A and B are shown apart, each in its own frame.
Chain A
C-alpha cells in the first residue's frame, strides 16, 4: 500500500502522531490482537478504515475527474487510474457531513465487493495500530459504522466500507 505524501508542505495537513504507530515503532512491543488502520479526517470528524482494504492513496488536487450525469448526488465522477475507470465518491457528502470540497486532499482507493472505488477525504494519517479491545460497538444504529475507538483522546469512527460505498444511498436528493 502506497501512502503518497509527495509534497512535504502538505504534511502539515496530514495529521500525524495520533494513536499508536504501527509495529515498526522500534519498542519491540508485541502487538497481538490489534488491527492496523488508517485514520481519515473529513470535515471535523475522524474515521478509520482497515489498511487491508486500501489499494492506494493518491493526491486529489491534480486528478481530472469526469462528471457523470444523473449519478448519485455523492458521486464526484470517474477518473482514469492507470488505465482503469474508477468511480469517485465524496465521503463527506455521502455521510451527510458538511464539507468544503476545496479542502479535499486525498483520494483513497479501496477494493470493496470486488470493485475498485475511490473516495475523497480532507486528510489521512499514518498507519495506526488499534488494539481490538479498544474498539467499542457503535452507539447508533447507523449501518456505516462497525465500531468506535478512542485514540489519543480523539474519537474515531470505524467505517463499514461496504455499506458506506457500495449500498445505494437511502435518500436521493436532487442536486
Chain B
C-alpha cells in the first residue's frame, strides 16, 4: 500500500508541474478576457490550457478537476460560437471556476485528497452554456441537496446504508491508493441496486434502474400496418447489417464523428419506424440505445469495449424482434437486463455498465472503469438536451437514383428475356436455312438483315437484364467484420479483418448462395488459420493477425480471395490425413505436389482439426463449400505456405443463367460443355489413346492427360465408337485437367441454362439442360462432376485393384 502511495505522490508531483504552467496560462487568459470581454481576448489561450489540463487530469482520474475544466472550456466554446455572451455573471462564474481549479491544485500539493464540492459550480456552468443562467451578479450557490444532479451513488456497501462522506468519491486520490478496496466496492456496487437523487426537470429513473412497462400486444400484426411490413423488413435488415459493421469500425475509431452520427441516425430511424408501426418493444429499446449513442456523439461519454458490447447486444435483440415481426408473431421478449444496462450506461455516462453477464468479465480485469465505479460526478448536470437534428443524410442524394423493384418483377422480365433468346435462336436457324435455300431472293436478304438486328438487340437486352440483378458484393461482406470481431474475442485472438470489395457487383442469386461458404471459410481462417497472439509472437509475427477478404473483376469472372497471415498448412500432414481417411493412396501421396495436397482439403470427410471446435472443423465443411461453389459454376482453390498463411481463391462466372458452350456428340446423343472450363479441343486418332493403370489417357503437350470416356461415364446406349478419328475436349477446373473423349465436335452455342430439378435424381455429370433452337432438350455437362467421377475410378482401381467400375 505504501508503495502505491509513493508512486501516487510521484504522479501528483509530475502533474502539478504541468498544472502550474497551465494554471498560469488560464489566469493570464482570464485576465485578458475580463479586460476586453467583447473581443474574446485570451479565450484561445485559456481554452488550450484548459484542454490540456483536463486531459491530464482526466488521465489521472481527477474528476472534479476535469469537470470544472470542461465546464469552463464549454463556456468559452459557446462564447466563441456566439451562443454565450460573456457578461458580468458569466465572467464571475469563470472566475469562480478558476478559483476552484486553483484550490484543487493547492490541495493536491499537500496531497490533500479531500473532495471538493464542485457540483453546483458545474451545474451553473452548464446553465450558462444552456443560456439559462440567471443574470445575477451575486450568483448564489444552491445547496447541493436541492441541486438534484443525476449522480450515481453507491447506496449500500456491504449491506449498510452509507453516509455521503463515506462514499468513495471519484476525484478521491485515496481511492487510487486503495485500488483493491474500490474494486471490491465496485464489484458490489454493480450488483447492489444504485439509487440516484431525482432530477428536478424530469422523473429520472431511480437507479434500480426503473424500467417502465412496455405494452406488448402479442400475436399477429394488426391489419392496418400490414402493408408497411415488407418494406420495413427490408429496410431494417439493411440498417441492422450496416449497424453491425459500423459499430465494429467504431471500436477502432471511436472519435469518428461522422460514423457516430450515422450510427445514431440508424438507431433513430429504427426507433421512428418502430414507433410508427406500433412496435413498442422495438421503439423502447432503440430509444434507450439512441440515448447512449447521443451521449457518444456529443462526446459526453467515452466509448469502450464494454459499452460497444452492450450496444451490440441491443442490435442482436432488435434482430430478434425483427424476426418476430417477420413471422407475424409478436412475442413479449424479456429485455429488462439489456434495457437496464442501457439506462445505466446513459445515466452514469459509461462509468457503469450495468449488471449484464458481459460485465462479469470486466470485473475480473483491472480495467480503468473498475476503479471509478464508485461515484460519478457528471460534468453535465442539466436536463438532457433535445438532440440536435441529425445532419441530412448524404444518402438522400443517391436515393433519387435508385428505386426498389420487387424481385418477382425482375424474375418475370428475366423469364421473358430467356424466352426471347430462344425465339431468337430459332429465328437465326430458320434464317440460315432460308439463306441456304433461297439466298438469291431479295426477301431472304431483307429478312436476314432484320434477323441480325433482332439478334443484336436481344443480346443487349439480355445483358441489361443481367445487370439489373447485380448487387454489390459488399452486401454479402458487411456481416463479416462483426462476425470476426465476436469470434476473435471468443477465441482470445487478435484479428483484423480487412475488406476490399472494390465496388464489385455480383448476380443476386450468386450473392444469396455465396454467403454460407464464405462464412465457413472466414471462420476457418479465424479458428484454424490465425494463431493466438502468444504463438504468433513466438513465431516472430505481430500479435495481431490479418484476414483479408477481397473481391475483384477478372475478365468474365468475379474473383473472391480470403487470405490470412496465419499458420498455413503442412502439405505432408495433409497427405498423411488423406491416407488415413482413405481419400488418398500411399503411392499417389509420395509424388503429389503441394498444390494438389492443399486441395485434398476439399475431399469429403477430410478435416485436420485436432479437435472439433464449436466453431468449425467437423469434417463436412470444406467439401460442402466446394459443392456450393461448383453449383454456382465456380471454382475454388487453396494455396498455402506453412507457417506464413493461406490464400483461398474463389472464381465465379459473372452471369449465371446464360453460358457459352461447346456442343459435342457422343454416340447418338449430344451434350454441351461449358466454355469456361474448356481449355482446348484436339483431334486425335484412336491409336493415341493409351492405357495407364487401367485408365485411358493420352499424351498432350508432353503431359499425361487422363480421359473421361463420355459414352462410358454417362452410360450412353449404343455400340462403342470404333471410328478412327475422335476428339478430346481438354477441360480444366482449378489445377486439374482432364480430356473428355467424344465422337463429334459440333458448334459453339450460347444457351440459357435450365436447372434439372431433383426429380430426375442424382444425375451426376450433368449440370443442367437447355432447349436448342430446334426445340430439343440438350444436357449440359458438369465438368467438376466428371473429374470427380474419374478420380473415384482411379482411387477404386488402385485401392481395390480390380477392374474399373463406374459409379
In the complex, A75 Cα to B765 Cα: how many Å?
Answer: 16
Is there contact, CB below 8 Å, between B757 and A115? Answer: yes
In the complex, A70 Cα to B762 Cα: how many Å?
Answer: 6
Q: Would A85 and B759 be within 8 Å (CB), given that A68-B766, A80-B777 are in contact?
A: no
- Judge whether B775 is part of the interface by a CB distance below 8 angstroms: yes
Q: Of B669, B713, B760, B775, which is within 8 A of A78 by CB?
A: B760
Minimum CB–CB distance for A62 against chain B, Å:
12
Those of B751-804 within 8 Å (CB) of chain A: 754, 756-757, 759-766, 769-771, 775-779
Count of B interface residues, CB-CB < 8 Å: 27
Those of A61-115 within 8 Å (CB) of chain B: 64, 66-72, 75, 77-80, 83-85, 87, 89, 115
Is there contact, CB below 8 Å, between B771 and A72? Answer: no
Is there contact, CB below 8 Å, between B779 and A68? Answer: yes
Is there contact, CB below 8 Å, between B766 and A70? Answer: yes
Is there contact, CB below 8 Å, between A66 and B776? Answer: yes
Whose C-beta in chain B lies nearest to the C-beta of A118?
B759
Minimum CB–CB distance for A58 against chain B, Å:
14
Is there contact, CB below 8 Å, between A69 and B754? Answer: no
Q: Of B419, B765, B771, B775, which is within 8 A of A69 by CB?
A: B765
- Judge whether A121 is part of the interface by a CB distance below 8 angstroms: no
Is there contact, CB below 8 Å, between A115 and B777? Answer: no
Those of B19-64 within 8 Å (CB) of chain A: none
Those of B671-717 within 8 Å (CB) of chain A: 713-717
- Judge whether B530 is part of the interface by a CB distance below 8 angstroms: no
Q: Would A69 and B778 be within 8 Å (CB), given that A85-B771, A87-B759, A165-B759 are in contact?
A: no
Whose C-beta in chain A lies nearest to the C-beta of B771?
A80
- Judge whether A52 is part of the interface by a CB distance below 8 angstroms: no
Main SS class of interface, B:
loop
Contacts of B762 in A (CB 8 A): 70-71
Minimum CB–CB distance for A118 against chain B, Å:
10
In the complex, A115 Cα to B758 Cα: how many Å?
Answer: 10
A71, A78, A83, A117 pick with most chain B CB within 10 angstroms: A78
Contacts of A70 in B (CB 8 A): 714-715, 761-766
Is there contact, CB below 8 Å, between A69 and B756? Answer: no
Is there contact, CB below 8 Å, between B761 and A68? Answer: yes
Contacts of B730 in A (CB 8 A): none
Contacts of B771 in A (CB 8 A): 80, 83, 85
Q: Of A64, A71, A83, A175, which is within 8 A of B760 by CB?
A: A71
Is there contact, CB below 8 Å, between A78 and B756? Answer: yes
Is there contact, CB below 8 Å, between A83 and B759? Answer: no
Q: Of B419, B422, B760, which is within 8 A of A75 by CB?
A: B760
- Judge whether A18 is part of the interface by a CB distance below 8 angstroms: no
- Judge whether A166 is part of the interface by a CB distance below 8 angstroms: yes
Contacts of B717 in A (CB 8 A): 67
Contacts of A67 in B (CB 8 A): 669, 717
In the complex, A72 Cα to B422 Cα: how many Å?
Answer: 29
Minimum CB–CB distance for B682 against chain A, Å:
24
Q: Of B422, B757, B778, which is within 8 A of A66 by CB?
A: B778
Q: Mind listing 17 A-B residue pairs with CB under 8 Å?
A: A64-B775, A66-B769, A66-B776, A67-B669, A67-B717, A68-B756, A68-B766, A69-B714, A70-B761, A71-B763, A72-B761, A77-B777, A78-B769, A84-B754, A87-B756, A115-B757, A175-B715
Q: Which A residues lie at the B interface, using CB under 8 A? A: 64, 66-72, 75, 77-80, 83-85, 87, 89, 115, 117, 165-166, 175
Q: Which B residues lie at the A interface, using CB under 8 A? A: 419, 422, 669, 713-717, 754, 756-757, 759-766, 769-771, 775-779
Given pairs A67-B669, A70-B762, 14 additional interface contacts (CB within 8 A): A68-B760, A70-B714, A71-B761, A72-B761, A75-B759, A77-B777, A80-B771, A80-B775, A83-B422, A85-B754, A85-B771, A87-B756, A87-B757, A115-B757
